[in-house]
Structure 1
Amino acid sequence: MVMSEKIWVGIGLSGQFFFTMRFVVQWIATERNRRSVIPESFWYFSIFGSLILLVYSLYRKDPVFILGQAFGTTVYLRNLFFIHKEKKDVSCATS
């Protein structure tokens, strides 16, 4: 395997690591609360993993992977937008 190819595999694996970590943090939060919980960090891991995997899929020129990661990133960003909006609304209401 050529060195640049090893680097790209490393990039792909790091993206997959972040993407997998979102499930780990969700699982831990759910176990601690004894109910299904999606912590804010789930969305950050989703975004980081998705963006890295998007870059990797662009390098690989894989249209299926590109579309999947691009769409997912949009959804994750939108969820964080709502989370931060809700926090801002709550802080404004208590001020």
Structure 2
Amino acid sequence: MLHVRTKDYIVNNPNGKISGVADIIAPIRNAQKFPEVERTNEKSTFNHNLAIVVGSQMAAGSTQQDRVKRRLTNVWIRRKQGGNWLPDNQQIQWLR
């Protein structure tokens, strides 16, 4: 997980909590189950070593009625060495 994110990666999650890499890795290491998510990238813009992707995602619930639609914005940075694109930060918000 660390090698596929920048060291400064942050998420503004739907609960309003800002999380860093350690906050994201801890539940994965503890084998926490996450809901299935269907993601749709709707628009991407590129400027030198920065890319911004906006879209939506549908998080699975226990029933069809429990499914939650969210909007998202992802910021990606291209590394100087190797030219790989890595996510740098993400914002997700609930749609009601």
TM-score range, shorter chain: under 0.3
More strand by percentage: 2
Q: TM-score, normalised by structure 2?
A: 0.24
